[in-house]
Structure 1
């Protein structure tokens, strides 16, 4: 499960890449046990060459020291880190690996902004990367990139379909998994109570609609009877 901070870094990095003219996708599995790239970006350069960039997102020191393989297989490779973590691990970052620092937007600034930003924060370059040769064949990078994009498109289509794709039993099991979030002392914060309230409200609205329709039919019938 991704933390809130990890999601903030991921979203900010996505838009950072798009603004640079690159096409990013998250969680791309590499061939030959080369690990999983947190974010892989593809960009066509003015000379029509293709540039690949790999980004590893880390939010804690234990996360940074994880035994998970670092998939720095692109032309340019980066760590994406919160400022406080970068200050702790700066000396451990290998030569040639770039660093992007994440900073959240100031809450006071957001409160006075005329237009809400699309990201929760912004990125700055703390250390530029050094170009290297690809560590996996370009054709395999392309294949894995396309497969990951297809996965994201499928997820988006499932979101559009919504809950209609799931059976009642499946939904019930998912609700049971969330029972630990139920707080009897704060009913307004509970999904269950909200669901029941929304369901009852929908039922009342539906019944009121039927009553209104019946009243309209009755009125029309009475009018016709008077005319006869």
Structure 2
């Protein structure tokens, strides 16, 4: 699961690339065991040639030293690091790899992104490590995945099966304490559903009682009229 800092950096990087007129998408799988590019961007140069950039986001020293493969397969490749991490790992960054430093805004509610990026070290041009048609296909596939997610969100929960919804509800409170802790969303959902069912039954019972009393009044009035006619 991504940390809040990773999500902030990812959002800021996406906006950063878009401002430069680049097509950009996160988590793009590469062929031939080349891993997953955290963020991949593409722009077309004045000579009508494509320029590809790969970004790897790291938020801690342990993350930087992770065994996860670094998918630096583009023309220009970068680490995106929080400002406090760079001094700890600067000596380990290869000469050809660029560095963008992330700084959080003190008042993010007044900005369109949580923070901003500063170029600390320029990347050197490299030959592509993946054939360009393959890269184009991977970029389009990743974008299609994100469009699919957006369409599901727009259509709401009706696109998900009941089993999927229950699984999601069950996992929504990772710190769920069975003995006295906060009630998780699954339990809350069940409780609210049961409460709604009870309220619906109460309303139905009240409606039946009203109908019964109305019917009783009609029958009493009818019997009274029939009694008067007998005399």
1:141 to 132, 135, 146: 135
Give CA deviations for 1:153-186 in whole Å, capped at 9, x if unaligned. 1111111122112233432333223354457577
2:112 to 114, 118, 138: 118
Secondary structure of residue in 2 paired with 1:160: helix
1:159 aligns with 2:153: yes
- Show the counterpart of 1:4: 4
Equivalences for residues 76-225 of structure 1 within 5 A: 76-107=76-107, 110=108, 116-182=110-176, 191=185
Gaps of 5+ in 1: 208-228
8 A contact 2:172–2:185 mirrored in 1: no
- Show the counterpart of 2:22: 22
Secondary structure of residue in 1 paired with 2:33: coil
| Alpha-carbon distance change, 199 to 18 in structure 1, aligned in 2, over 3 angstroms | farther
- Show the counterpart of 2:59: 59
Give CA deviations for 1:184-214 in whole Å, capped at 9, x if unaligned. 5777xx646876679979x89xx9xxxxxxx
- Show the counterpart of 1:34: 34
For residues 50 and 140 of structure 1, what CA distance do their matches in structure 2 show? 13
Q: Give the C-alpha shift of residue 136 in structure 1.
A: 1.4
Q: Give the C-alpha shift of residue 74 in structure 1.
A: 0.6
Secondary structure of residue in 2 paired with 1:84: coil
Give CA deviations for 1:115-148 in whole Å, capped at 9, x if unaligned. x322100000000101111111111111111111
| Alpha-carbon distance change, 90 to 192 in structure 1, aligned in 2, over 3 angstroms | same
Q: Give the C-alpha shift of residue 106 in structure 1.
A: 1.3
RMSD, matched Cα: 2.5
| Alpha-carbon distance change, 92 to 50 in structure 1, aligned in 2, over 3 angstroms | same
| Alpha-carbon distance change, 93 to 194 in structure 1, aligned in 2, over 3 angstroms | same
Q: Give the C-alpha shift of residue 64 in structure 1.
A: 0.5
Provide TM-score, normalisation by structure 2.
0.76
- Show the counterpart of 1:72: 72
- Show the counterpart of 2:209: none
| Alpha-carbon distance change, 186 to 34 in structure 1, aligned in 2, over 3 angstroms | closer
* Higher radius of gyration, 1 or 2: 2
- Show the counterpart of 2:229: none
Q: Give the C-alpha shift of residue 33 in structure 1.
A: 1.5
Secondary structure of residue in 1 paired with 2:85: helix
